[in-house]
Structure 1
Amino acid sequence: MVRILISDGLDDDAIDLLKQKNYEVVCEHYEPEILLEKIKDFNCLVVRSATKVRKPLIDKSLESKNLKLIIRGGVGVDNIDVEYAENNGIAVRNTPSASSISVAELTLCHMLALSRFLHISNVTMRDNKWEKKKYEGTELFGKTLGLIGFGRIAREVAKRAYCLGMNIIYYDILGKAEGYDEYEFCSFDDVLKKSDYVSLHIPYDEKSGTVIGKRELSLMKNTAFLINCARGGVVDESALLDALNNNVIAGAGLDVFEEEPSKNEALINHPQVSVTPHIGASTVEAQKRIGFEIVDIIDSFFN
């Protein structure tokens, strides 16, 4: 019988379906040192963001050679040493489409919150402050949204922002995308310079490190907002905080952080920052899609 360890949770209906299909399912988040021993007993490991699947864990799994498949429930696989796993005969899969709409909608939520001061007026109102004159916002209509990375999620964001009357420009390392002539392909620097909102849709690469630092922030308009619902490591938080404090940019919407849970209190409590605790894929609909896509991946792989 195929033994599956679900380390970071999964939709209940998907778990029930796996059991109905006669897989042995263990839903347990083990601390790293315990997981090193437990991993040898499983054929499949399902993770989200919390569990890191690095070389030492993969090496431990090779002692029994039971582990055949690692699945990341979500888009990125930067918490998995993919190349090392696959070089050692362990397949790695993810669910790139399941949460695209949810993350795209959260991106727009941050854009709207910052534009209309929802993130801070919601707090001051609870402190019995009526600061109506202080919160004169801006409309999304007619503004330019710049997308760094133009994959599945970015395209869902673009589709929705375009319907709100925004101008869409984008940069992608792969170049101009076919079939999206209503949007303008630009250089990386031009996206930063021209945009009223810059939204990041790129993976984190430990080798290249941060993508948005002091230089990149200095290219942005001082009225612009930076949105990051992708990966925390792509933004230099120290440089971002300096940019906010010195009015280099107007604000930031952040769902992801260099360290999670974030201990950067100066950033998360900044009045020009809208924050959420990595909830991009945290919708009922996305969790069900992720769950059933994982079931399909497991079925296809082991059958």
Structure 2
Amino acid sequence: MARALLLENPHPNADPIFASAGVEVVRHPGALDENELIAALDGIDILGIRSTTHVTERVLAAHPDLLAIGAFCIGTNQIDLKSAARRGVAVFNAPFSNTRSVVELAVAEIIALTRRLTVRDKSLHAGVWDKSAAGSHEVRGRTLGIVGYGNIGTQLSVVAEALGMRVVFYDTAEKLALGNAQRMGSLAELLAVADIVTLHVDGREGNAGMFGREQFEQMKHGAAFLNLSRGFLVDYSVLRAKILDGSVSGAAVDVFPDEPKRTGDAFESELRGLPNVILTPHVGGSTQEAQENIGHFVSGKLTRYLQAASTDLSVNLPRLSLEPSDAARYRVAFVHRNTPGVLALVNQTFAEHGANIEGQILGTRGEIGYVVTDIGSELPREAVEAVRQMEDTLRLRVMTRPAVD
């Protein structure tokens, strides 16, 4: 029986999906550091994590039999994707499942910051009646600057427009503007006009430190700032200074460079205690609805990979899904280096050993190739071993009677 280790409390609806595929689930409530993870992965075929646990080259090297990793979240920068691909370990995430939850939190925080609700709330909790309109504004008519116009950025754009906001956005890739949103030619152009700046970019290495002193000084005086994407994007020491001198009127931050591993752990940040600053513990996608969707989506992708070798929506392997034929008796999943002639050599090997191919699909992604082959005859062990011993083989897996994807 295959075994899955789930860390950081993915939604329990993942468990019956794994069980239906014959996978035993082992859970650990918090994140694990590198050494802890290496020890915990003994006998594990599938690893499920969220945003805090890091899967490094050292972890992957220590467990060459690990089959797949599921990130029960949007981001995958906590996983060494290239190393996983080179070892034939498929990685899946949930790119769409919590989009609405993040958008709703962003909208709530935009309104709260613009109305200075945190300041009013703090005064009343301190026993002071501070009834004033000073510094409080409607969001209608104000300009929202969205940095990163992907799944979250585009949906936020639509909702913000419905609230009467003007939307401008900047993205390094070409993106279709929705509604009346206006694309800006540079980040500096966006910062010069936005009353609220919100970051929704991915975790690729090139984005680290993208928002520092230069960018904060390009913002309109008194603009508000949100980061619900990645903690390592922003220099929070500069943000602290800008809030204290009034250059930035308020901020909402959901992500931090170093986050505690477990609920209840101590939290330290230079942003604690500042006026009109909302701090949340990486809960942008943490609604019941989002977590249910993520649990169902990621566990489904992992079990389909386990049973049918489907890599549909994998973030590091070629994306393939081969519908099995009724005559198929075996399915062979073959991850290899993307070099010329590999497929011909594999098929020649099968033919020489009398294995009849019923269906086949090939895909490549950079230096990695992936072939899924259905065999309708007996599959001699010698044929499997011959392919396994090929110079370019990274991983070879044989399934009997492939499941319908």
Q: TM-score, normalised by structure 2?
A: 0.71
Q: Give aligned pairs, total.
A: 298
Structure 2 residue 233 is the aligned partner of structure 1 residue 234: yes
SS at match of 1:53: coil
Among 277, 283, 299, the alignment partner of 2:281 is 277
Structure 2 residue 265 is the aligned partner of structure 1 residue 267: no
Q: CA deviation at 1:43?
A: 1.0
Whether the aligned pair in 1 keeps the contact of 2:207 and 2:233 (CA below 8 Å) is no
Mark the CA change 1:181 to 1:101 in structure 2 (over 3 Å): closer, same or farther: closer
After TM superposition, the structure 1 stretch with the greater mean CA deviation from structure 2, 138-147 or 241-250, is 241-250
Whether the aligned pair in 2 keeps the contact of 1:7 and 1:30 (CA below 8 Å) is yes
Question: 2:47: which partner in 1?
Answer: 45
After TM superposition, the structure 1 stretch with the greater mean CA deviation from structure 2, 104-113 or 121-130, is 121-130
Question: 1:94: which partner in 2?
Answer: 93
Question: 1:302: which partner in 2?
Answer: 306
Q: Report 1:123-272 matches (<5 A).
A: 123-133=122-132, 135-175=134-174, 177-178=175-176, 180=178, 182-186=180-184, 187-206=186-205, 208-261=207-260, 262-264=267-269, 266-272=270-276
Q: CA deviation at 1:207?
A: 5.0
Q: Deviation per CA, 1:23-74, whole angstroms, max 9, x where unpaired? A: 1110114642232122131111110012111111111112xxx211111111
Mark the CA change 1:250 to 1:69 in structure 2 (over 3 Å): closer, same or farther: same
* Unpaired stretches in structure 1, ≥5 consecutive residues: none
SS at match of 1:258: coil
Whether the aligned pair in 2 keeps the contact of 1:203 and 1:234 (CA below 8 Å) is no
Q: Normalized per residue, which structure has more helix?
A: 1
Greater C-alpha Rg = 2
* Unpaired stretches in structure 2, ≥5 consecutive residues: 261-266, 308-405
Whether the aligned pair in 2 keeps the contact of 1:40 and 1:60 (CA below 8 Å) is no
Which letter does structure 1 place at the counterpart of 2:255? Answer: V
Whether the aligned pair in 2 keeps the contact of 1:149 and 1:202 (CA below 8 Å) is yes
Q: Deviation per CA, 1:141-181, whole angstroms, max 9, x where unpaired? A: 01111111000011111111010011111111112x23625
Q: Deviation per CA, 1:197-230, whole angstroms, max 9, x where unpaired? A: 1110012344552111000000001121111111
Give the Cα–Cα distance (whole angstroms) in 2 for the partners of residues 295 and 84 of structure 1: 22
Whether the aligned pair in 1 keeps the contact of 2:177 and 2:183 (CA below 8 Å) is no
Question: 1:79: which partner in 2?
Answer: 78
Q: TM-score, normalised by structure 1?
A: 0.93
Whether the aligned pair in 1 keeps the contact of 2:70 and 2:299 (CA below 8 Å) is no
Question: 1:110: which partner in 2?
Answer: 109
Give the Cα–Cα distance (whole angstroms) in 2 for the partners of residues 180 and 133 of structure 1: 37
Q: CA deviation at 1:132?
A: 1.0
Whether the aligned pair in 2 keeps the contact of 1:237 and 1:258 (CA below 8 Å) is no
Which letter does structure 2 place at the counterpart of 1:94? Answer: N
Which letter does structure 2 place at the counterpart of 1:99? Answer: N
Q: CA deviation at 1:109?
A: 1.3
Q: Deviation per CA, 1:85-129, whole angstroms, max 9, x where unpaired? A: 111211111101000000011111111111112223222211111
After TM superposition, the structure 1 stretch with the greater mean CA deviation from structure 2, 22-31 or 211-220, is 22-31
Question: 2:13: which partner in 1?
Answer: 13
Give the Cα–Cα distance (whole angstroms) in 2 for the partners of residues 45 and 135 of structure 1: 51
Whether the aligned pair in 1 keeps the contact of 2:70 and 2:92 (CA below 8 Å) is yes
Whether the aligned pair in 2 keeps the contact of 1:117 and 1:135 (CA below 8 Å) is no
Identity %: 29
CA RMSD of aligned residues (A): 1.6
Q: Deviation per CA, 1:261-298, whole angstroms, max 9, x where unpaired? A: 4411x412101311111110110100100010012101
Whether the aligned pair in 2 keeps the contact of 1:72 and 1:94 (CA below 8 Å) is yes
SS at match of 1:268: coil
